[in-house]
Chains A and B, each alone.
Chain A
Amino acid sequence: MEDSRTESPPVIKLQVNQPECAWCDPAERCAPEERCGTDVRRIALLGNPNTGKTTLFNRLSGLRHKTSNFPGTTLEARVTRVKAGIEGGRDGDLIDLPGIYSLELDQLESRVCREVLAGTAAPRGEPLGEPECAVVVVDAANLARNLMLVGEVFRRRLPTIVVVNMIDIAARHGVVIEAQRLEAALGCGVVLTNARDGSGIDKARIGIRNARIPTPAKPVPSDQDQLRAWADDIQTQCVRANRGPGTGAMSETTSDRVDRVLLHPVGGMLVFSLVMAGLFYTIFAVARYPMEWLGAIFEWGKGLVHAHMGSGAVANLLADGIVGGVGSVLIFLPQICLLFFIISLLEDTGYLARGAFLMDRLLRPFGLPGHSFVPLLSSHACALPGIMATRGIPDRKERLATILVAPFVTCSARLPVYVLLTTLLFKDRPLMAALAFVGCYMLGILAAVVSALIARRTILRGKSRAMALELPTYKRPAMRTAFVGTFDRAKMFVRNAGTNILVICVVLWWLGAYPRVEAPTIAGRLREAAVHVVASDAKATTEVVAISDSERRGLLLPEEIVVGRDKAALDYTFFDGAMKPKAWLTGDDATKLADQIESRHQKTHSFLGMLGRGVEPVFRPLGFDWQLTIGVLASFAAREVFVSTMNVVISGQAETPDDEAGKQHLIEQIQTAKRSDGVTPIFTPAASWSLLVFFVLAMQCLPTLAVTAKESGHVKWALLQLAWMSGVAYLAAMLVYQVMS
C-alpha cells in the first residue's frame, strides 16, 4: 500500500505580488484568496456519507468542538479550532458539513453545503464568509463517485485539499491509490489517511495549511454527465486494482454474505430484535445503577445545603428548587450516555443502516421511516434521549413527525404512576395489574403511530420517500468516535438541563412552595407535646393533644392523640381507615405527623394548590377533584412527581416508605382518601382509569417540551406537541370516565 505523499503539494505560481504575512510559510507567497494576517481561517469539511468524515473531524478536533446547528434548520453543525500544521502556519475553524452525495441536489443538506461554500450560511454563532479552504473527504474504495463531489467543489474555485480516507479498507480489497498521480490529475493537495488509526492526520493538517485553488489537468466540465466521465477518467489513471482471482469488481464480499442473514425477513428481524432488546436492557437495567448513584449524590447535596444553610427561603430554593429540580432531570444522564454510545457503535459497524431497512416495512404504513425505530425505542426509557436520537432521520418532515409523537410511548418516569394506579385498581390481582400495565404500553405505542400517520397526512404532508441507502462495509467500530459522540450529546443535555430545564424546575418548585402560609396550630401542639415527653425523665410521661372538628377537616385524624415516651405501649393507629377515638404516638412519630400536616397544609395553600382549585372545573369531566388536579399540574415538571405530590397532598409524606408495611399503609391512605365532601373517595375506579389513560397520553414533561423546541428548531412544534397530546389525553380520559361512571 502506498503511503501518503511526503513531498509538499505543487505550488501554484502566482502573478500577484502580495506581501508575506506572519502567519504563512515564508517560503511561499500567499494566494490572493487567502486573507493573510487574519487570526483564523475558515475551513469547510465535506464529503459523501460513510467516508469517515466524522472520524477525521474527531481526529482533528479531539473533544474541543462546539456543536450548534445551521440557522433555520435542524442540521447539526460542529466547529472546531484546528491548530496550525506541525511546522507552523495559521489556526483554522473547521466546519463539519453534513454528508452529501452531490452539491447540486435539491435537498436541505446539499443546500446548506452550497450556501456555506458560497459564504451565505454559517453554523449558528459563526461569522458568515466564504471558506478559505475546502477539505473534501473521499472514500478510497469508491473513488470515482466521490470524485464527482470533488469536481463540484472545484467549480467553486476555493483552495481545496482532497483527503483520501479509509485506505486500509481499500487495500483489503486490492485497491491502491496512486497519490502523486491523483494529485497531478486534480491539481490540488492529496493526502491518504486512515482516520480510524490516525495515520496521515498530521499530513492532512499540513495539507490544509498549504491548500491552493486547484488546477486540474483536465478542466472540470459543467455538465453532470460529463463530470461522471471526468471522475471515471481520473480513477482509471490513479487507481490500481490488485485483485486476486475471483475477486473482480462487484465480486461477493464478506459483508454481502453477512447481509443475507441480517437483511433476511425472519433471520434479520430475529437478530435485530435481539440487538434492540440488548440496547433496551442496557438503557433500562444497566443505567439504573449509575442513576441511583446520581440520585444519592443529589440527595446528599440537598442534605448538605440544608445542613449548612438551614431551611430558609434561599436554602429551600437551592436545595429543592435547583439541586432537586435539575437533579431530577440530570438523573437521566447515564441513560443518555449509554444510549448514544451504543447507537454510535452500531452506526459505525454499519449495522444501523441495515436495521433502518428492516424497520422501514413496519413503520412506513404510518408515514415514518425505518430510522424512527431507534428514537421511538429509546423514548421508552426517556423521551429526552429519544428526541435527541432523531438526528439520524434524514427527511425533515419524517424527523419532525417522530419528534412530535415520541413522548407518547411509555417512558420510565410514567412507571411509578402506573404502579400506583394499577395497584389501586387491582389491589390483590397481580395478573390483572400486569395486563393493565401492558395495556398502557400498547396504548402509548398506538397513540404514537396513529398520531404520526395523522401528522404525515396533514401538517407534515409529503411524499414518504422510499428508502435508498448506501450500505457501508461492516467494520469494527471506532471507540474514539463513539466516546466523542457520546460526550457531545451529554454536554448538550447538561447544558440544556443547566439552562431551560433549570428555569422550568425553579418556577414549578416556587409555585409549589409559595406563598408561605402559617402552619396549622395542631402541628405546633403536636411538636410541643413531643418535645415535652422526650425531655421528660419519667417513662410513663404522656401528653394528650385534643383535635377539634375544624382541625380534622380533610385530615384523617382522631379526636385525641396521646403522645408518650414508651414505644411498646403505643398503638400506632393513624390513617388505618378505621379511626379510633384515641391514638398513641411516640415523640418522634408526633414530630413526623406535625411535619406531614405542615407539608400538606403548605402544598394545598401554595400557588399550585390555588391553581389546582382554580382549574378543577376543567378536569371535573375527567373525574379529578382539586387534589388530583394538583397532582396532575405538579407532574408537569416530571411525571414521577405525581406520586410524591399525591403522597404529600393526601398524607403529607413526600417519600414513599421503603418497607412493605409502610407502602401498604400509604396505599391504603391514598385508596381511602376522600374528596372535600368527606364521603366520595378521590380514587374511584372510574377516576383511576381515567387518570391512568390521561397519564399514558398526556404531555406532562416540560423538559421534553424544551428539548422538542430545540431539536425541531422552533417553539411552535413544542406547543403543537403540548396541545395535541393534552387534547388527546383529555378526550380519551373523559371518554373513559364518562363511560365507566
Chain B
Amino acid sequence: MAAESANQGVAVMAAIARNAVPLAGLRQGAEGVICESRLDAEDAALLKAMGLCTSATIKVVRAGQPCVVAVGGAGEACSCGGMCRIGLARELAERIFVNVLA
C-alpha cells in the first residue's frame, strides 16, 4: 500500500516536472510554484532557509540578471508574507524549476 502511494507520488512529481520551466525563463509578473531544484546541497539548503523551497509560490518581480522573485506560500500565510524579495544570479535561476500559475 505504502509502495503504491510512493509510486503515485513519483508519477505526480514527474508529471509536474514535465511541465516545469526554469525560473530564469519566466517573464516579469509570472507566478508559479517551485517544483524542483537542481542545485548543489549547499545552495539548495541556503535557498530553502531563505524561503525558496519546493512548493513555495513565487512571483517574478524582475526578470533577467539578477532575477528578483517575491516569495510566498499557501494563501495569506506565506513564508515571507509576500513582501520578501530574493535576487538570484542567473546560474541559480536556471536550475530552479517552476510550474507556472499565471
Contact = CB atoms under 8 A, between A and B. Distances in A.
Interface of A: 101-102, 104-107, 141-145, 148, 170, 173, 175, 224, 228, 231-233, 235-236, 239, 241, 248-253, 255-256, 259-260, 263, 265, 353-354, 357, 360-361, 463, 465-473
B3 interface: no
A256 B81 contact: no
Q: Top 3 nearest A-B pairs by Cβ distance?
A: A249-B82, A101-B49, A102-B49
Contacts of B85: 255-256, 259, 470-473
A467 B73 contact: no
Interface in B21-61: 31, 40, 42-43, 45-53, 57-59, 61
A144 B50 contact: no
A106 B53 CA distance: 17
A274 B100 CA distance: 38
A467 B45 contact: no
B81 A144 contact: yes
B89 A232 contact: no
Given A142-B84, A263-B68, A470-B86, A250 B31 contact: yes
A450 B47 CA distance: 31
A253 B82 CA distance: 10
Most chain B CB inside 10 Å of its own CB: which residue of A107, A256, A360 = A256
Given A249-B81, A263-B66, A353 B87 contact: yes
B81 A471 contact: no
B49 A232 contact: no
A471 B66 CA distance: 11
Contact of B50 (A101, A252, A357, A466): A101
Given A260-B62, A468-B52, 11 more contacts: A101-B49, A104-B49, A107-B46, A145-B79, A170-B81, A231-B79, A235-B81, A239-B76, A249-B83, A250-B71, A466-B89
Contacts of B65: 265, 361
B98 interface: no
Nearest to B28: A260
A145 B89 CA distance: 21
Contacts of B82: 248-251
Contacts of A251: 82
B76 A249 contact: yes
A145 B57 CA distance: 13
A255 B87 CA distance: 13
Contacts of A465: 42-43
A416 to B, nearest CB: 41
A473 B61 CA distance: 13
B17 interface: no
Given A107-B46, A357-B66, A144 B83 contact: no
A593 B85 CA distance: 70
A468 B31 contact: no
A144 B73 contact: yes
Contact of B87 (A141, A144, A170, A468): A468
A467 B62 contact: no
Contacts of B31: 250
Nearest to B94: A466
A175 B81 CA distance: 9
A357 B92 CA distance: 13
A173 B81 CA distance: 10
Contacts of B50: 101, 145, 468, 470
7 contacts: A102-B45, A102-B49, A144-B78, A170-B81, A232-B74, A263-B66, A467-B87
B83 A259 contact: no
B1 interface: no
Contacts of A142: 51, 79-81, 83-84
Contact of A106 (B42, B58, B86): B42
A119 B48 CA distance: 27
A277 B17 CA distance: 47
Given A250-B70, A466-B92, A471 B86 contact: yes
Contacts of A141: 81, 83-84
Contacts of A248: 82
Nearest to A248: B82
A249 B82 CA distance: 5
Given A250-B59, A256-B61, A232 B87 contact: no
Contacts of B66: 263, 357, 360, 467
Contact of B81 (A101, A143, A260, A472): A143
A173 B50 CA distance: 20
A741 B75 CA distance: 76
Contacts of A106: 42, 45
Contacts of B86: 468-471
B61 A235 contact: no
B10 to A, nearest CB: 18
A231 B42 CA distance: 22
Contacts of A232: 73-74, 77-79
Contacts of A143: 81
A397 to B, nearest CB: 13
A252 B68 CA distance: 12
A107 B47 CA distance: 13
Contacts of A228: 53, 79
A241 B31 CA distance: 20
Contact of B77 (A148, A235, A252, A360): A235
Contacts of B47: 468
A354 B65 CA distance: 11
Contacts of A224: 48
B89 A144 contact: no
Contacts of B45: 102, 104-106
B49 A239 contact: no
Given A142-B81, A473-B83, A148 B49 contact: yes
B84 A145 contact: yes
B61 A105 contact: no
A104 to B, nearest CB: 8
A239 B81 contact: yes
A145 B80 CA distance: 6
Nearest to A175: B81
